[in-house]
Chain A
Amino acid sequence: MSLPTTLRRWLSLGWLLWGLTAGIAQAQVDAPIPLDGSITSLQISGTLAVRMESDPSIGIGGISKPTSPGFAPHAAEQQFALRDGHTLWVRLRLQRAPDAPADWTLHLPLPYLDYAALYQPKGKGSWDKQLAGDTTAVAQWTHPALYPDFTISLPETGLHEVYLEVRNFKPVMLPLHLSTQTVRDRQLELENLGLGTLMGMLLMLIGGCTIHYLQSRSTADGWYTGYAVLMAVVTTNACGLSGMWLWPTSPLWSNYAHMALPVLGVGGTLLFVRHLSSLDVGYPRLAKTLYACGLAAMPIGLLTAAIERQTADYVNTVYLTAGPILIVVATLLTWRRGYAVSKWLFMAYLPQALAMLVLVAQMWHLIPDWWQSRYLLVLAIAVTVPLLQQALHARIRERREAQERAKALPTQDALTGLLTAPLLQQQVEHALARARHDGEPSAIVLVDVVNFKFLRESYGDAVAEQCLLRAAVKLHRVLRDVDPAGRLDSARFGMVLDGVHDRQALTERMVRLIASGLIPLPGLKPEVTLQFHVACVLLSEVIPHPQTILEELGNVLEGISPRTRRPIRFLEPATTQPASLSSMHGTSGEMPTQPNA
């Protein structure tokens, strides 16, 4: 066999294969999308018929002419190499079956897309045009929405051709979703519910920060509030909510915001993390880097307006790559150093950083495009909210509580948080007045920790204070939230138990208290127990004088031996003595001591 013959055969085979492939591709391009009763929603996949124009577009009139240059096949799941000045045309051939509904929608969940228009024939060679995209004011969109969302009307069965015109300053993947109008309405309801929930959570974060700020008036808390607002704006912008609700008439800003706000968000986060984790204490160089990067967000954000968008996008991408990595490194390092707040920051920002890196990897074409990744970021931000609240709370909890306790000192005891002696005295007087006037049953109880002196002498002040705090906790367990309790002396507590009218019920409660005191306190070696002695008075039995009641109960406590087997004693009513005959003639000036007397 001569060489030319072989070559000719190979060439023929090559032509045949090419023809076959081209034929199949063309057949796929021309294959209509079947819409029948069983399909309610689908994402268009496979091969699309597209045409890219780098010159000024010839418009729908030229594109739709039968003589116009043909459309080429392009995989629907791949990016379209768009850039400034390019126009992409997508031809969709929709085959409506008799059982399919007439009203359909086509939506592209890309809030940042520059321009999108859908053309449908409306007879006599004219076209119905629907407009969307962030270079057009949302208020002027045919259907104002979070992202391009068009209606398609297929009044008759059979084949229909619609054209989609798309422009964007950088390559983009087009997730084209076709749905019936009914299904789309339902999707929108769910979407709104999800976004509303997210916004509610962000509002909670802003509200929490504002309350912290109003309480502390600290500049740092003011900045945190500002940061929470910034994050809310960044998130709403990523979802398209800002374009729709905050700046619906400003296409220039809407377009710019999609590039600048994420950068500002990352910059704000860098400064927030640097401050909250006190990075400059252990890692001064890293702190300076974070500070510089955080401040750089402003000029980088402005760069978008000053230079060509493509170049600005590269700079943004680099910034958006470096920012999350720095955040994760900073929180991890400070967590390892032992700062409690950094644990929460790390947990909060790790998902966010990962989502951001996925987005950046898509921008660099390192991984395949996935349009849902933008919503992944939004979800990660939502997860951040409660964790950030916890971080802010943890940062200042101990200090704020000490401050709150110090502020409450006129009414509360410093150690136990119980009422001070004068305030408890007031409560006792109120209880006595209620018992006297309305016959309301109450009990006044005094409790002594009898081994307190021994504990202080043996183990020191710190352990003695621990014991008193634990005693207060045990006391709380036998009290209701509304029952007032106070500290009367170093190791003496007083309580007013409203609604208690018999000894049995009161004794049962006090037995619980005494028993709980006998359980060794955790964390103390050698074992330490609390020995409670209790003196009570039931106001349904006897109503002592308000000024002397605590003293009388104190006397009862003093009379109990340290080794007693009856640590609960009651103030007994004075036994009725026969009146002497002589006093019958005079008038007794004594106050009645019996209820309702």
Chain B
Amino acid sequence: LVIGTLLTLAVLSVIRHYEHKNPFDLKAAWYGLLVAMSVAQVNGVLNAVLWTAWPTWADYANSILPLLTVGTSLLFVRKLYALSTHFHRYDKTLVLIAWGTLGAVVGYVLLGRDVADRIGTAALLAATSVGLLVTVMSWRGGSTIGTWLMLAYVPQCVCLMWLVAEAFDLVTNRWEMRYFMSLSVALSVPTLMYALSRATHDRKEVALRAGQLPTQDALTGLLTAQAFQSHVQDAYQRAIDTREPVALVLVSVINLERIRATMGDTTAEQCMLRAVIKLHRILRDVDPAARIGTERFAMVLEGVTSRQALTERLVKLVASGLVPLQGLEPEVTLQFQAACVLLHDNPVPPERVLEDLSGVLAGISPRTRRPIRFLEPVPTQAAPLSPTLEVA
């Protein structure tokens, strides 16, 4: 169970590395794999499965793998805490102990087993204590991930202290402690990975948005006008071919320019982001939406059959805009106006539909009481008699 969870975490880290190209994710995957191996080794799984033909290595692996894991773990958290920034000396000590723990493995080759074991135990004890100490320091220093790291390290340390106390006959031996230790080590992996994900989330998110810029708007994450046009064409085709009910809506935040002029660019951008959240509330997961120009959004609403249904949705949007935005002083509201067309009733060609809707929006007064308007179909005119007569 534990091994499955750890392996899944390692695979997820590799997928994350593939997505974000952050080498730290690859290190996290390696760390997860190493912990999985250590847990499997301590509980005898690797001896039974992998090294059945190498009894000498199987014997030594019980001592060596935990050393490798704890050493790597220290190097991992050192990066995570960025200790070198504020605690140079402590950082150097940590590096020294981490590499010392990894180096203690050499003792098993050069020295006798007894001596190497003693060195290994001392290294493990020192490394875990240092790990706990550095976590406490980071926590007290107000690190955002400090709590998570405390959760990862405290159970491990308690278990290790117990095992050491057992070794010195200070407490009675309990066979269950081996499993508690494995569990606490295993628990540290998702916790550390979550901490890593929180620490790097913002940057990854910005990089991801930048990577999607050809098709997505930088600020809102909605589609760009070009990418949206193909959705409009598809919707139009479906409305023509199969009479599928589809609505196209253009929404404008008419007071954005005023907000920009009075409160600056950054506040205007905040307002646009909040406008998008309000827009999402009336859209389904699969409805495409885009930013068209500075203060306009367009969306395709599939499955909307009537004006009534569409109006009800847009009324919600307009009303939500009138709720003052949180955290802005003086109060700011968003004034939405919408122009809509039901493509199955009025199939305006995709090349000019957005233009026509813009025309409708342009015709709405800023002080209107009817902020939702529909693009009306052109009324059928009686054909003049003269061409018929000419043909005749």
Q: Which residues of A contact B (CB under 8 A)?
A: 186, 189-190, 193, 196-201, 203-204, 278, 280-282, 284, 338-339, 341, 385-386, 389-390, 395-396, 398-399, 401-406, 409-410, 412-417, 420, 434, 440, 460-462, 465-466, 468-470, 472-473, 476, 480-482, 487, 489-490, 498-499, 522-523
Contact = CB atoms under 8 A, between A and B. Distances in A.
Interface in B180-214: 199-200, 202-203, 205-207, 209-210, 213-214
A444 to B, nearest CB: 15
Interface in B5-22: 5-9, 11-12, 15
A66 to B, nearest CB: 46
Q: Would you list the 9 A-B pairs with minimal beta carbon distance, nearest first?
A: A200-B4, A197-B4, A482-B82, A200-B5, A461-B294, A490-B265, A278-B286, A469-B218, A414-B269
A420 B334 CA distance: 22
A189 B220 CA distance: 52
B3 A197 contact: yes
B76 to A, nearest CB: 13
B55 interface: no
Contacts of A412: 202
B49 A193 contact: yes
Given A197-B4, A402-B273, A498-B86, A281 B303 contact: yes
Interface in B324-350: 326-327
A196 B43 CA distance: 14
A395 B280 CA distance: 13
Interface in B209-227: 209-210, 213-214, 216-221, 224
A413 B270 CA distance: 8
Contacts of B171: none
A284 B269 CA distance: 38
B84 interface: yes
Main secondary structure of the interface of A (DSSP, over half): helix
Interface in B280-323: 280, 284-287, 291, 293-294, 302-303
Nearest to A476: B203
A395 B285 contact: yes
B274 interface: yes
Contacts of B273: 402, 405-406, 409, 414
Given A278-B286, A405-B205, 16 more contacts: A196-B3, A200-B6, A203-B5, A281-B303, A389-B12, A390-B15, A402-B220, A402-B277, A406-B273, A414-B272, A415-B269, A462-B218, A468-B218, A472-B210, A476-B206, A482-B85
Main secondary structure of the interface of B (DSSP, over half): helix
Given A196-B3, A498-B85, A469 B8 contact: no
7 contacts: A341-B285, A401-B209, A402-B221, A416-B206, A440-B86, A476-B207, A482-B85
B206 A473 contact: yes
A201 B265 contact: no
A198 B4 contact: yes
B4 A434 contact: no
Contacts of A389: 12
B3 A469 contact: no
Contacts of A404: 205
Contact of A193 (B3, B206, B217, B274): B3
B286 A203 contact: no
Nearest to B24: A481
Contacts of A282: 238, 244, 302
Contacts of B8: 200-201, 204, 385-386
A341 B286 CA distance: 9
A281 B294 contact: no
B2 A200 contact: yes
